[in-house]
Amino acid sequence: MSAPDGKYWNKELETLPREQLEAKQLEDLKEIVQFAYDHAPYYKRSFDEAGVKPSDIHTLKDIQKFPFINKKTQRDTQGVGSFLGELAAVPEEDVVFVSTSSGSTGVPTMSPFTKKDFDEFQDTESRWFYQIGMRKNDRYVHALNFSLYVGGPDVIGAQNLGALCIWGGTLPSERLLFILKTYQPTIIWTSPSYAWQLGEKAIKAGYDPKKDFSIKKIIVAGEAGGSIDSTRKAIEDLWGAEVFDFYGLSDIFGACAAMCEAKDGLHIAENHILVETRDIHTGEILPPGETGELVFTTLRKHARPLIRFRTGDIGRIDYTPCKCGRTHGRIHIQGRLDDMFIVSAVNVFPSDIEAVIHELKEVTGEYLIRIFEKDFTCKYAVEVEKASGNTETDEALAEKVSAALKARIGVKPARVVVHPDGGLNTRSEHKSKRVIDERNIDYNI
């Protein structure tokens, strides 16, 4: 790695002309597909059954000849044949770290790392921290879960950069506020909903987040809010700090993509990940710029290569030049495939609803979505909290919210329920539960 240069952690890599970047991707793609075929039992069997072989790759598009994998593939192969399972391509003695998924969509899955995998993972984290402006004179609070969560070790990337790091973890709000007041850190990383709630709790505890703390930058991840302009602005206004969205996958490593100062999508580490976009209805591969399910192929992770992994995240990849000068593509995440629901033939994401709620000053910003069926069709309802001091009737507020949702999304909710400030049980010290699916039938998309 070259020494940091101005605003770049690794200027040569981050500004590599696309032709050279893609040539390096192709070189690594050929190597990792061959390595997976030779060392991971699942890939040997899968490729043979599909009638493809590593030597079939001559261009980046040739990856489209190979079969997809997904979370089910991970669960079905985990522990089969060995502790690490059939997707692993190295023996256990070469593995130095494992994280696991939350298990929110099924059995938790392990993500193993060799020493080289882990070191390159942390160098990428240093790159993202440097990209948002972290420097050696910063004090950084890592307020993420350290219990098997792949985002926990990301703090090492900040340490490698030279920042003073406070391993906060999942502290109670009162303790975290004490740290912010006593140690006066300049940067913190948490979830979007918790960044908002922590600011609210600070105010209720008698603090002014803008004056009593020294937070200048807030990193958020784990939820869509950081890439929703209205949510990001609300958090920035509350704290008087810049907010930057990061994106990661337990299946690969901590933060795989991050915002730069332009805040026009998240630069993805294309030296580690090849991105495709899959049409959610037809399964066809879409051209860059179109929205679909993001499919990732890891280019350098050897402990468990992921070849054409369907992430379940809906978004697009943008290769147009970024104002920051970095050449790696930018992903724009719209939401999770398993969170999307269809109402009157319209694809609806919770992130769309959140964007509307956070633009309305008459509500607190807390919300809950209920999805249900009526007359054999999918419907949705939204519950909100009336902001303190709002004197309009609940009925008038409900109509205002309903009209705003109809204007933005295209379909109005079946009902809007208004609660007083604090009346919704959605506040959480980490990720907030925002969607309750009450349907009894399976709406396949």
What is the pLDDT confidence band of residue 341, given thresholds at 50, 70 and 90? confident
269 belongs to a structural domain? yes
Task: Calculate mean pLDDT across residues 74-82.
Answer: 93
Question: How many other C-beta atoms lie within 10 A of the C-beta of residue 174?
Answer: 9
Instruction: List Cβ neighbours of 353 (8 Å cut-off, separation of 6 or more).
Output: 367, 369, 382, 405, 409
Task: Calculate mean pLDDT across residues 12-18.
Answer: 97
Q: Look at 220 and 430; give whichever has higher pLDDT.
A: 220
In the predicted model, is pLDDT for residue 337 greater than 70? Answer: yes
Residue 390: what pLDDT?
93
Question: How many other C-beta atoms lie within 10 A of the C-beta of residue 81?
Answer: 11
Strands ordered across the beta sheet of 435-437: 415-419, 377-386, 363-374, 435-437
The 10s digit of each residue's pLDDT in 143-179 is 998 888 899 999 999 999 999 999 999 889 999 999 9
Question: What average pLDDT does the chain have?
Answer: 92
What's 4's DSSP letter? Answer: P
308 belongs to a structural domain? yes
330-351 b/e (C-beta count within 10 Å ≥ 16 → b): bbbbbbbbebbbebeeebbbbb
Question: Which of 337, 364, 386 is the last residue before a domain boundary?
Answer: 337
Shared-domain flag, residues 319 and 364: no
Residue 46: what pLDDT?
98
Question: Which of 294, 317, 337 is the last residue before a domain boundary?
Answer: 337
In the predicted model, is pLDDT for residue 443 greater than 50? Answer: no
Task: Calculate mean pLDDT across residues 213-225.
Answer: 92
Shared-domain flag, residues 245 and 362: no
The closest alpha carbon to 250, from 413, 426, 107, belongs to 107
Number of domains in the chain: 2
3 belongs to a structural domain? no
Predicted TM-score (pTM) above 0.85 = no
Shared-domain flag, residues 388 and 421: yes
Shared-domain flag, residues 328 and 379: no
Residue 2: what pLDDT?
55
Q: Which domain holds residue 108?
A: 8-337
Shared-domain flag, residues 353 and 304: no
410 belongs to a structural domain? yes
How many Å apart are CA 396 and CA 223, to the nearest integer?
Answer: 30
Task: Calculate mean pLDDT across residues 279-297.
Answer: 95
396 belongs to a structural domain? yes
We report the CATH number of the domain holding residue 380 as 3.30.300.30
Residue 352: what pLDDT?
85
Residue 336: what pLDDT?
84
In the predicted model, is pLDDT for residue 1 greater than 60? Answer: no
In the predicted model, is pLDDT for residue 11 greater than 70? Answer: yes
> Which SS3 state, helix, strand or coil, does residue 424 take?
coil
The closest alpha carbon to 409, from 368, 366, 380, belongs to 380
Helices (H), 40-162: 41-50, 71-77, 115-131, 155-161
Distances (CA, A) of 426 to 304, 367, 379, 397, 436: 36, 7, 21, 20, 11
The 10s digit of each residue's pLDDT in 351-372 is 889 889 988 999 998 999 999 9
Contact 29, 298 (CB under 8 A): no
Residue 426: what pLDDT?
78
267 belongs to a structural domain? yes
Contact 258, 151 (CB under 8 A): no
Task: Calculate mean pLDDT across residues 279-295.
Answer: 95
> Which SS3 state, helix, strand or coil, does residue 190 take?
strand
Shared-domain flag, residues 254 and 391: no
211 belongs to a structural domain? yes
Distances (CA, A) of 234 to 52, 273, 297, 359: 50, 32, 35, 8
How many Å apart are CA 2 and CA 310, to the nearest integer?
Answer: 33
Shared-domain flag, residues 382 and 300: no
Shared-domain flag, residues 67 and 213: yes
Of how many residues is the chain composed?
A: 445
Question: Among 296-300, 340-344, 380-384, where is mean pLDDT lowest?
Answer: 340-344
313 belongs to a structural domain? yes
Residue 209: what pLDDT?
97
We report the CATH number of the domain holding residue 177 as 3.40.50.12780
Question: Which of 337, 358, 392 is the last residue before a domain boundary?
Answer: 337
Q: Look at 437 and 189; give whichever has higher pLDDT.
A: 189
The 10s digit of each residue's pLDDT in 31-76 is 999 999 999 999 999 999 999 999 999 999 999 999 999 989 999 9
Shared-domain flag, residues 308 and 390: no
Shared-domain flag, residues 370 and 319: no
Shared-domain flag, residues 305 and 172: yes
Residue 442: what pLDDT?
45
What is the pLDDT confidence band of residue 441, given thresholds at 50, 70 and 90? very low
The 10s digit of each residue's pLDDT in 107-151 is 688 999 999 999 999 999 999 999 999 999 999 999 998 888 899
Residue 225: what pLDDT?
80
Shared-domain flag, residues 330 and 369: no
